[in-house]
């Protein structure tokens, strides 16, 4: 039987990517007690890494799309460890890093691409605490990186 979150993903027309493998000396997630910490997921879509700098060569809408792809990878990592996304009780916190110019101030609108996805997929349990900050650069030149904490059963 398909779980309610998998059903919801299908209703939304969302296919999760495979959970990305770590690119350095870290693990993709750590489960401790009822919390699942998912390492930062970089903006990457079917065509590869989404690179750019907000305020220079990317606009807010493009950044929000990049952040949404980060969210898809976060959910994919949760599914990889939990097996069943119905075990996610709540999205507790997202921390978003936006590769942007010094004068760019719309980081919250960019990270909304991920936040909105969490609410679409998990409903009220997808509402979360959040930080959205600027970074002068991100790994491999990507536009966005986001990490998550989930409460799980």
Tens digit of pLDDT for each residue in 37-56? 999 999 999 999 999 999 99
Assigned token pair, 106: 């719309």
Residue among 37, 66, 71, 64 at smallest CA distance from 51? 66
Which residue, among 46, 45, 28, has the nearest Cα to 37 in the 3D structure?
28
pLDDT of residue 23: 85
Name the pTM for this structure. 0.96
- State the CB neighbour count (10 A cutoff) for residue 1: 4
Residues in the chain, pLDDT under 50? none
What CATH number has the domain spanning 4-101+112-152?
A: 3.30.1330.40
Of the candidates 41, 34, 31, the one whose C-alpha atom is nearest the C-alpha of residue 94 is: 41
Element (H, E) at 147: strand 144-152
């Amino acid at each position: 039987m398909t779980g309610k979150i998998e059903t919801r993903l299908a209703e939304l027309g969302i296919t999760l990517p495979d959970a990305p493998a770590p690119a350095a000396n870290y693990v993709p997630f750590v489960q401790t007690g009822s919390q699942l910490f998912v390492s930062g997921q970089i903006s990457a879509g079917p065509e590869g890494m989404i690179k750019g700098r907000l305020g220079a060569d990317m606009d807010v809408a493009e950044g929000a799309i990049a952040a949404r792809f980060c969210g898809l990878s976060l959910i994919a990592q949760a599914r990889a460890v939990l097996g069943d996304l119905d075990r996610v009780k709540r999205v507790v916190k997202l921390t978003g890093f936006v590769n942007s110019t010094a004068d760019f101030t719309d980081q919250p609108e960019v990270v909304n691409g991920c936040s909105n996805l969490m609410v679409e997929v998990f409903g009220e349990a997808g509402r979360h605490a959040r930080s959205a900050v600027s970074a002068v650069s991100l790994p491999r030149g990507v536009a966005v990186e986001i990490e998550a904490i989930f409460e799980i059963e």
